[in-house]
Structures are given as structure tokens and as C-alpha cells.
């Protein structure tokens, strides 16, 4: 496949192109409820390098994006404490979709409908390359994790469930 031909055009890839962020496309066969285990298996990459994009909200229903290793869970208590919220909880799928503009299972932190604060598990930034949703189900892009900070202003937290 040539470098100029793209598998998918989404708000996420449009933003990456517009901001000249180098990325590679990784389509795979989407499996309902397969999550990062399935995408990592199909792409032959370690699940720790696959980053899930979660839409959560605080006690006042203010939305936020949380980026976490595929093989880890978010401790909502730790996250709330670190960001100065009373509590944090995942949004219902239809609410998450309304905030992000993406279908659940295809949520990317890039090109969201609504501008939201973005929190990233600190150790994600230590990886050489990450695989993150490119804006639709069955479609990941690989990028350098620094793009999360440079492009999105993602702030590091230590919110992985121990």
C-alpha cells in the first residue's frame, strides 16, 4: 500500500494530517466487545501498547477523555483525587457518543466533537509507539505518544488500578 493511499478518513485522521503528525494505519476486523485484547491479537502487538480512549465524567457531568493502556483498568478514585474531582465515572455509551462524536468502540481522542480535558496514564508516554483508535471501529493508528501531549495537551496521571 502506498503512503498516499489512506484506508480511512475520519475527523481524527484529518486532524493528524492537518497538524502534520506522522501516523500509520492499522485496520483490523472489529469484534463486538473484543476490545484491546482483540485488536492487539489481530495486529500482533502487545496489548500494553494499545491505548483505549474512555469518555468519563465528573460529579457535575463534565466530560473528559481518559487514555489508558489496553491491559489496565482506570481507578476512578485515584483519577478523581489527582484531578481534583469528587468522583469520576464512565459516561453511558449514548452520552459518550454525544460528547465525542464517535461511535463507542471507535472513539479517538483526536477530532472529538466537544473539546474536553484529556488525561493520559503517565507510563503511556514512555512507550516508543502507541496504537490508538483512528476514529472508527476496526481502525487503529500508530503514533509517537508525544503527540498526545503536543497536539491534545494531554496531562499525565497515575490512575491505573493496581
Grid coordinates representing 52 are 483505549
Grid coordinates representing 124 are 503511556
Q: Is the pLDDT of residue 162 over 80?
A: no
For the ranges 5-14, 48-57, 114-123, 147-156, the lowest mean pLDDT is seen at 5-14
pLDDT tier, 118 (very low <50, low <70, confident <90, very high otherwise): very high
pTM of the entire structure?
A: 0.94
Question: What are the angstrom distances between the C-alpha of 111 and each of 32, 88, 135, 158?
Answer: 23, 23, 8, 25
Average pLDDT, the chain: 95
Grid coordinates representing 6 are 489512506
pLDDT tier, 6 (very low <50, low <70, confident <90, very high otherwise): low
The fold for domain 16-157 equals: YbaK protein (3.90.960)
**What are the domain boundaries of the chain?**
16-157
Provide the pLDDT for residue 1: 35
Q: Is the pLDDT of residue 69 over 60?
A: yes
Provide the pLDDT for residue 8: 75
d(CA 54, CA 66): 5
Amino acid at each position: 500500500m502506498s503512503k498516499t493511499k489512506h484506508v480511512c478518513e475520519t475527523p481524527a485522521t484529518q486532524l493528524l494530517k492537518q497538524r502534520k503528525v506522522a501516523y500509520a494505519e492499522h485496520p483490523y476486523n472489529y469484534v463486538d466487545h473484543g476490545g484491546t485484547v482483540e485488536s492487539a491479537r489481530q495486529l500482533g502487538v502487545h496489548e500494553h501498547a494499545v491505548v483505549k480512549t474512555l469518555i468519563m465524567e465528573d460529579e457535575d457531568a463534565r466530560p473528559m477523555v481518559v487514555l489508558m493502556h489496553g491491559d489496565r483498568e482506570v481507578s476512578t478514585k485515584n483519577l478523581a483525587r489527582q484531578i481534583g474531582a469528587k468522583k469520576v465515572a464512565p459516561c453511558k455509551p449514548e452520552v459518550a457518543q454525544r460528547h465525542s462524536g464517535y461511535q463507542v468502540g471507535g472513539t479517538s481522542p483526536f477530532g472529538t466533537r466537544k473539546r474536553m480535558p484529556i488525561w493520559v496514564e503517565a507510563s503511556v508516554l514512555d512507550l516508543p509507539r502507541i496504537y490508538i483508535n483512528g476514529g472508527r471501529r476496526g481502525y487503529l493508528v500508530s503514533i509517537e505518544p508525544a503527540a498526545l501531549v503536543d497536539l491534545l495537551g494531554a496531562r499525565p496521571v497515575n490512575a491505573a488500578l493496581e
